[in-house]
Amino acid sequence: MSLCNYQHFILSFLLVLLLGINNAMSEPEEYNTYIVHMDHSLKPSSFLTHETWHLAILRSLSKPVHDKDMLLYSYNHAMHGFSARLTPSQASEIKKSPAHIAIHKEKSGKLFTTHSPQFMGLTHPSGLWNASSYGEGVIIGLVDTGVWPESESFNEKGMPPVPTRWKGKCQNSTINPFPCNRKLIGAQVFFKGSQAAGESNSQDHSPRDFDGHGTHTSSTAAGNHVPGASQFGYAKGVARGIAPRAHVAMYKVPGGIRQSDVLAAMDQAIADGVDIMSLSLGFKHKPYFRDAIAIASLSAVQKGIAVVCAAGNDGSPNTTQNAAPWITTVGAGTIDRSFTATVTLGNDQTLEGLSEFPNRVLLIDTPLYNGNGDSNKTICLTGALNESEVSGKVVLCDNNNSTEVIDQMQELERVNAAAGIFISDWTLYDTADNTIPTLILPTSSGALIKKYATEAADDASVKIMRFVLTSLGTKPAPQVADFSSRGPDPINPNILKPDIIAPGVDVLAAIPPTIPVQYFDNYFLASDYALYSGTSMSAPHVAGVSALLKAVHPEWSPAAIRSALMTTAYTTNNNGTTLTDEALDPLTPLDYGAGHINPNKAMDPGLIYDIDWQGYVDLLCGLGYNDRQMKAILRQSQWNCSQERIDINYPSFVAMFSAGSPNVKNFTRTVTNVGDDQSVYQVIVETTHGITIRVEPTTLTFTNKYQQQKYAVSVQMDGKASPVAYGYLKWVDQNGHIVASPVVVLNS
Ligand SMILES: *[C@@H]1O[C@H](CO)[C@@H](O)[C@H](O)[C@H]1NC(C)=O
Ligand SMILES: *[C@@H]1O[C@H](CO)[C@@H](O)[C@H](O)[C@H]1NC(C)=O
Ligand SMILES: *[C@@H]1O[C@H](CO)[C@@H](O)[C@H](O)[C@H]1NC(C)=O
Ligand SMILES: *[C@@H]1O[C@H](CO)[C@@H](O)[C@H](O)[C@H]1NC(C)=O
Ligand SMILES: *[C@@H]1O[C@H](CO)[C@@H](O)[C@H](O)[C@H]1NC(C)=O
Ligand SMILES: *[C@@H]1O[C@H](CO)[C@@H](O)[C@H](O)[C@H]1NC(C)=O
Ligand SMILES: *[C@@H]1O[C@H](CO)[C@@H](O)[C@H](O)[C@H]1NC(C)=O
Ligand SMILES: *[C@@H]1O[C@H](CO)[C@@H](O)[C@H](O)[C@H]1NC(C)=O
Ligand SMILES: *[C@@H]1O[C@H](CO)[C@@H](O)[C@H](O)[C@H]1NC(C)=O
Ligand SMILES: *[C@@H]1O[C@H](CO)[C@@H](O)[C@H](O)[C@H]1NC(C)=O
């Protein structure tokens, strides 16, 4: 049968060949990398491997592909098919193959970091660390820009032996030496797509990181303990990954982040036997059947590998990326640490503000300048200051909430000020790159210094200014980072995304020593550890916690791990209010998902919402995909759509209402008891004006572990609800388990 098909395929190519002769003289066509999904069940048995079959297909084209390097990769695990350099007419010829399912030109993606190394933080859950022996034995695979193997974070002190089930490689050569060890157990590079697109150089032939991103994310997920790490004195402490006893495998994708390379990396990671996969990069929004990361992740999840991805840094509503429901999608939050400096005025008043100025400068008894009554000078307008008036002085600049603080800093540099004090409530300035020390004061304490400067007039002075201080307990924390991508998910708004937030602002982790961190005094300063921000930084936190959970509960599915993370997350900051953004504006679960990760609680969630393979198939059926689309994503030729639904057994709910649609939405869920054998859960519903949430039954009784119970939820909207409203559905037992799910109502 399959051989038959193949002969038919050859015949149709011969036909195309004859018809194609007329075009033989037309202009040379441009080559591009195409991703080709194939039905692998149709491989003729005469081909021993899929790769030889894929090559034969390319050689049988009317304009045959003879150079076998034009076949970039054959995929067997992440998807079924291959990627190759093809012309548009070769690509459309491949569509005629009976084994062809889908073909599309590859896209380039991007890393989800904000390239400014700013503030930072890491949390260290002791309970889960102890129970999981720091993630001992779990393998985390990262698809990223490579890794710097000599970094202290990848030392193998205290590491267990490489697991015998590990099938991965360490790409080490005489030209590109790359030492692996018991911590860093695998490192490979996938550059063919990047090279074909003309984006790679010789550095990309080694898994070594020349960007910094991959070293940072992998040391965040699983770096070993390194005492005394800091970026120039800020955030000093023990640097360590979330799962310090987990093994790391790096799958490097260089250059412009090519889909063909990312697929090859994920294909290899699945084959090698990683337990957790972490991706801090992504491509433009596409439906699941066109989304390389979604397709490869479903394949990984089918094999029990939990896939954790960054949600993106778009910062506005309807922008979450990597949001397929089998992926754990991670947004970014701040932490309770800030980098500060203090100023003590001539009247002995001491004020604290923000600063990342890299040197331990101490300024003593310096005159304070405040514009001499000229408002242009008061705000340090470009060109307003007079060098002979201010040189060598501390200049007070009323920033007046202007976002042009950069210009003010340059003005101070122009006139050789000794230091600058900016008054602003806007905390996102990067003060690290200035050659003169600067401090940002909030308007509240700014008023005090202005008052003093006015009263003391020409006698105003600064007694002491101190830099390089780290202060903990900053309130409120966490906040959702302004850049963190927000829901609803543009591809499937019926599933709440992001799932969770984790630290992603000013994360201290290892970087290659060759990467400049700051520009200071005409020098680039390097550091072994640096503060980076982005959802790129929050995803590896969740990958690390997932590794710890995997170590404690090896039997948990990827959906169970995500469920435990979500139902135990918290939504209240350290000042006792609901999570806000960085301007202190209130948010909803569209911004933070189930909330901020709470690792110790996730270890013992009580109940989980599990999803098996058929659960995801039911959802894909419900999305109305056609046969080719289903085949591309499922990698199989048969599936069962008898239970199609657009909802899924997810630990969160989205009820979408539009004008004219019924005002009630019903859901069903199945929960599995992973807590004590005997437990009785009561439901608690928290809701807001205009919404009624009913749950049936209201009590769930379990008599043994792994027992399952179903319940139904109906969400009713009475027309007075706001466009985005939300509540919570919580199952609470007698032993202190609280299994919380956000219920989001969208009215349009
Ligand atoms: C640490 O883990 C061990 C073994 O898993 C357990 O016996 C011990 O009680 C744990 N210690 C704490 C403080 O939880
Ligand atoms: C890596 O390659 C270098 C040079 O070929 C060799 O000296 C070294 O032992 C290798 N290391 C490992 C871990 O294979
Ligand atoms: C302040 O700056 C503005 C804009 O550059 C200018 O028009 C104005 O004359 C300046 N005022 C003084 C007092 O210099
Ligand atoms: C700067 O200040 C000095 C001394 O007060 C004065 O002589 C000079 O004219 C000023 N320059 C300008 C451009 O205002
Ligand atoms: C500060 O900003 C406010 C509002 O934008 C404006 O009215 C005020 O004049 C500004 N103050 C100064 C000193 O520029
Ligand atoms: C400055 O901007 C911040 C953030 O937008 C705001 O909270 C604060 O009230 C503003 N302060 C003044 C004095 O306008
Ligand atoms: C969300 O974005 C998608 C495309 O990215 C668009 O089709 C959709 O209309 C948007 N939804 C809302 C509510 O803005
Ligand atoms: C923290 O909460 C207290 C009491 O509600 C409030 O007065 C204070 O302004 C809050 N602080 C911040 C930084 O939000
Ligand atoms: C499809 O699934 C349903 C529900 O699980 C089952 O009853 C039915 O037999 C399945 N159909 C096939 C063809 O497997
Ligand atoms: C939703 O559930 C309620 C009971 O909770 C039921 O009365 C109603 O008929 C259901 N509606 C739909 C559309 O299934």
**Mean pLDDT highest for which of 95-109, 111-125, 229-243?**
95-109
Per the CB < 8 A criterion, the answer to whether 222 and 248 are in contact is: yes
How far separated are the first and last CA of the chain, in Å rounded? 51
What are the helix (H) ranges across 132-246?
A: 192-196, 213-222
Question: Does the annotation count 299 as an active-site position?
Answer: no
pLDDT (tens digit per residue) in 463-473: 888 876 676 77
Q: Tell me the average pLDDT across 516-522.
A: 56
Q: Is 643 in the pocket of ligand 9 (CB under 6 A)?
A: yes
The kind and range of the H/E element at 84 are strand 81-86
Q: Tell me the average pLDDT across 377-401.
A: 89
How much of the chain, in percent, has pLDDT values that exceed 70? 87
- Residue 24's pLDDT is 46
Which of the following is catalytic: 151, 299, 536, 557?
536
Amino acid symbol at 673? N
Alpha-carbon span 184 to 170, nearest angstrom:
9
Amino acid symbol at 676? D
- Low-confidence winner among 208-217, 502-511, 531-540 (lowest mean pLDDT): 502-511
Ligand 1: centre distance to CA 253 (Å)? 40
Find the ligand nearest to 389 CA.
4
Report the nearest atom of ligand 10 relative to the CA of 696.
5
- Residue 363's pLDDT is 76
Q: Is 180 in the pocket of ligand 2 (CB under 6 A)?
A: yes
Ligand 8: centre distance to CA 350 (Å)? 21
Alpha-carbon span 56 to 7, nearest angstrom:
12
Question: Does the annotation count 144 as an active-site position?
Answer: yes
Ligand 2: centre distance to CA 169 (Å)? 13
Which of the following is catalytic: 213, 541, 596, 737?
213
Find the ligand nearest to 285 CA.
7
Alpha-carbon span 165 to 554, nearest angstrom:
15
Phi–psi pair at 414, nearest 5 degrees? -60, -40
Find the ligand nearest to 376 CA.
3
Per the CB < 8 A criterion, the answer to whether 180 and 186 are in contact is: yes
- What pTM value is reported for the model? 0.81
pLDDT (tens digit per residue) in 531-560: 788 999 999 999 999 999 999 999 999 999
Tokens 């590859």 map to which residue? 106
Q: Is 717 in the pocket of ligand 2 (CB under 6 A)?
A: no
How much of the chain, in percent, has pLDDT values that exceed 90? 64
List the residue whose alpha carbon is closest to atom 8 of ligand 6: 425
Find the ligand nearest to 169 CA.
2
- pLDDT surpasses 70 at 119: no
Q: Read off the tokens for 492.
A: 């499937």
Report the nearest atom of ligand 4 relative to the CA of 389.
2
Query: Candidates 423, 425, 582: which one to mutate for ligand 6, based on the most atoms within 8 Å of Cβ?
Result: 425
Q: What's the DSSP call for residue 28?
A: P
Which residues have C-beta within 8 Å of that of residue 555, sequence separation ≥ 6? none
Report the nearest atom of ligand 1 relative to the CA of 130.
1
Ligand 10: centre distance to CA 668 (Å)? 11
Strand partners, 310: 330
Question: Does the annotation count 213 as an active-site position?
Answer: yes
Query: Candidates 374, 376, 378: which one to mutate for ligand 3, based on the most atoms within 8 Å of Cβ?
Result: 376
- pLDDT surpasses 60 at 598: yes
- Residue 21's pLDDT is 42
Q: Is 416 in the pocket of ligand 6 (CB under 6 A)?
A: no
pLDDT (tens digit per residue) in 360-388: 567 788 999 998 889 889 989 989 999 99
- pLDDT surpasses 60 at 51: yes
List the residue whose alpha carbon is closest to atom 3 of ligand 10: 714
Q: Look over the chain and give the mean of its residue pLDDT values, rounded to a whole number.
A: 87
